[in-house]
Chain A
């Protein structure tokens, strides 16, 4: 089969991704971010098991401005990934698995993730 005669798929550098596609790739990216978060969680647990001195080092890191920024990022990533993940579980049952259904769900997932992230940090900092 000749490659030259095939239709071209939209080129990522010139094609503006629709909202549903943005939500989809963000879902995956947040998942990768959360996997990196697991490395930090496991290290923190290892520190907690190793003793007070080891733990204090991790604690100082996570309560620094950079540590808190990471924790905020992981909070947002968790809620986004969880909310969109619930949507995927609904899609797996066949419900809402249309262009319109996806478009309708986009603001709900995004809104829920933003609200839950902000709510968690308001409670956490209070």
Chain B
């Protein structure tokens, strides 16, 4: 049974005007987080976070700094999408909901950019 009008199907975006992009982005970042998370845990177990000098050498390398920045972006996108759904499910006051959603995204964006700049700082300090 068709649940959509032809026009709705052609536009394919639904009432939120974003289609399945929220759902799909959460899946794609979930898949990306698996290798990135394993890389992070293996790095810790390999002693790359044991002290200050080890961290500088670790994040000073092209590969590890690239992986760290990718992980920051992928994880931040994944958890803002996830927390958005949690807030939408449990916060029933529309004003509080909107403010919470914007706050979550603002905090995630600020921390992500600050963390990426820190990684780049380590990269270029060693260059």
A binding-site residues for B, Cβ under 8 Å: 28, 31-32, 34-35, 38-39, 41-43, 45-46, 48-50, 52, 55-56, 59, 75, 78, 82, 85-86, 88-89, 92, 120, 123-124
Query: Once bound together, how far apart are the Cα atoms of A56 and B55, in whole Å?
Result: 11
Chain A hits for B72, CB < 8 A? 42, 45
Chain A hits for B108, CB < 8 A? 38
For the complex formed, measure the closest distance between the CB of B107 and the CB atoms of chain A, giving whole angstroms. Answer: 8
Tell me what chain B mostly uses at the interface: helix, strand, loop, or mixed.
helix
Query: Once bound together, how far apart are the Cα atoms of A41 and B108, in whole Å?
Result: 12
- Known contacts A78-B41, A82-B37; A39 and B111 CB within 8 A of each other: yes
Chain A hits for B76, CB < 8 A? 38
Annotate B104-127 by CB proximity to A: 1 below 8 A, 0 otherwise. Answer: 000110011011011101100000
Instruction: Check A42–B112 contact: CB distance below 8 A.
Output: yes
B binding-site residues for A, Cβ under 8 Å: 27, 30-31, 33-34, 37, 41, 44-45, 51-52, 55-56, 59, 68, 72, 75-76, 79, 82-83, 86, 107-108, 111-112, 114-115, 117-119, 121-122
For the complex formed, measure the closest distance between the CB of A67 and the CB atoms of chain B, giving whole angstroms. Answer: 12
Chain B hits for A39, CB < 8 A? 107, 111
Instruction: Check A46–B115 contact: CB distance below 8 A.
Output: yes
Chain A hits for B45, CB < 8 A? 120, 123-124
Instruction: Check B34–A28 contact: CB distance below 8 A.
Output: no
Query: Once bound together, how far apart are the Cα atoms of A46 and B86, in whole Å?
Result: 28
Instruction: Check A85–B44 contact: CB distance below 8 A.
Output: no
- Known contacts A31-B79, A55-B52, A89-B27; A45 and B119 CB within 8 A of each other: yes
Instruction: Check B111–A89 contact: CB distance below 8 A.
Output: no
Instruction: Check B111–A38 contact: CB distance below 8 A.
Output: yes
Instruction: Check A82–B34 contact: CB distance below 8 A.
Output: yes
For the complex formed, measure the closest distance between the CB of B103 and the CB atoms of chain A, giving whole angstroms. Answer: 13
Query: Once bound together, how far apart are the Cα atoms of A45 and B120, in whole Å?
Result: 11
Chain B hits for A45, CB < 8 A? 68, 72, 115, 118-119
For the complex formed, measure the closest distance between the CB of A46 and the CB atoms of chain B, giving whole angstroms. Answer: 5
Query: Once bound together, how far apart are the Cα atoms of A31 and B33, in whole Å?
Result: 12
> Pick the contact of B30 from A43, A55, A85, A123 — CB < 8 Å?
A85
